[in-house]
Amino acid sequence: MPMLTTTWQPPQKHHRKATILHVDADAFFASVEQLLEPSYRGKPLVVGGRDRGVVCSASYEARRYGIHSAMPIYKARQLCPEAIFVRGNSAVYREISQRMFAIFHDYTPTVEITSIDEGYLDLSGTEMMHKADLSTIAMRILQRVEKEIGITISGALSTSKLVSKISTSQFKPRKLTLIAPGKERAFLSGLPLKSMPGIGKRSLPQFEYLGLKTLGDLAAMTFEEIWNRFGAGGIVLWERAQGIDRRCVNPEGYRRKSISEEKTFTMDISSQYFLEQETMKMLKDLCYQLRKRELYAKTILLKIRYSSFQTYTHQKTLESVSNDEDDFRPLLKELLKCRQLDKKVRLIGVGLKNIQSELQLQLFPSTQSGGKRKPESLQLALDRIRKTHGANVI
């Protein structure tokens, strides 16, 4: 058991102001579908793969039937057979997302994107420019998204990322919440432990074992109790339960560690040729996404789920980073050989990880990368053609 070697000081309390706005679109994919197709509005709608996939997004009308994200589609159908089921269109969601973030950037340059429909804005110092107080500015942002894009978002303004994020989810949909400085701990204290990001399957039973139920119970523990049982990781959660969160809004913070695509087949597949074709398509698309963002990856993953539901992931790493599918293709072929040929495949997926930007490459050139990378002119030229003439021409 770790010994207590440090003492804990609460952070200084001067000039704290509720400047951090967390924003999150309400039922994003489902709302976009209802925006594009007026006949879907006001009806239970589920975005997800066909019968064998899971729910990606459910409209609020569908949620009334108990349908929620990550639920198997067949279960959603049982709960609400009359719901509208659509497959979704990621290109459209990305475009709407970009328009939403463009609006946020009109109000402050300090925008941290945390997912396709969610992020943090630091509004400090923007009162003069917008001639309003921060809660008015926040309200304008939410209203503009609704008016100009046609989907609703929720948000919360507080002194910290944590408190803003939790209160957005507590009061959704179509709500702006303000947690005044000094009220953070009181707001959090009645909430169940699992409402805090970071308290999950592993830590929750350990806290419950101690008889803790709410964030208030956790906050009431002493530094020594937490330190001796959980060490530094526990201290972070204990501080956050008190509403203490020192993280800043970081516009550079959104750097995806990996990207992936997967597909659940309507029938289990045994043809190696077919699987090769499908995974090559995914690889091509993932490399295209990297090039668009001027990013590079080093490791490729192959995920295979057999009809028995047993799932395996295999991976291989290049010597130097790349965003050219031709570099990853031989590795993917190797990975496909790991497949157990006597078993049929239900789902297959490809991922790329160890992603870095050009800037990182320049700052931290690894021994293998740098000069050895292939010139990308060919792939970039192909991308330009894809952009102008559609993805299927090449």
Q: Which residues bind Mg ion (CB under 5 A)?
A: 24-25, 28, 117
- In whole angstroms, the minimum distance from the beta carbon of 28 to Mg ion comes to 5
Specify whether 225 is catalytic.
Answer: no
Taking the C-alpha atoms of residue 360 and residue 52, their distance in angstroms, rounded to an integer, is: 40
In this structure, are residues 279 and 348 in contact, taking their beta carbons and an 8 Å threshold? yes
First to last CA, the chain: 60
Name which of 117 and 239 has its Cβ closer to Mg ion.
Answer: 117
Handedness of CA 278, 280, 284, 287 (dihedral sign): positive
Q: Return the closest-CA partner of residue 320 out of 356, 272, 270, 284.
A: 356
In this structure, are residues 76 and 58 in contact, taking their beta carbons and an 8 Å threshold? yes
- In whole angstroms, the minimum distance from the beta carbon of 280 to Mg ion comes to 32
Name which of 143 and 271 has its Cβ closer to Mg ion.
Answer: 143
In this structure, are residues 135 and 272 in contact, taking their beta carbons and an 8 Å threshold? no
- Tell me which of 112, 118, 184, 261 is the catalytic residue: 118
- In whole angstroms, the minimum distance from the beta carbon of 143 to Mg ion comes to 18
- In whole angstroms, the minimum distance from the beta carbon of 58 to Mg ion comes to 11
CA distances to 27, 138, 282 from 101, in Å: 17, 14, 27
- Find all residues with CB under 8 Å of 357, minimum gap 6, and list them: 255, 293, 294, 295, 296
Separation of CA 85 from chain center: 23
Residue 154, amino acid: S
Name which of 117 and 324 has its Cβ closer to Mg ion.
Answer: 117
- In whole angstroms, the minimum distance from the beta carbon of 33 to Mg ion comes to 14
Active site residues per annotation: 118
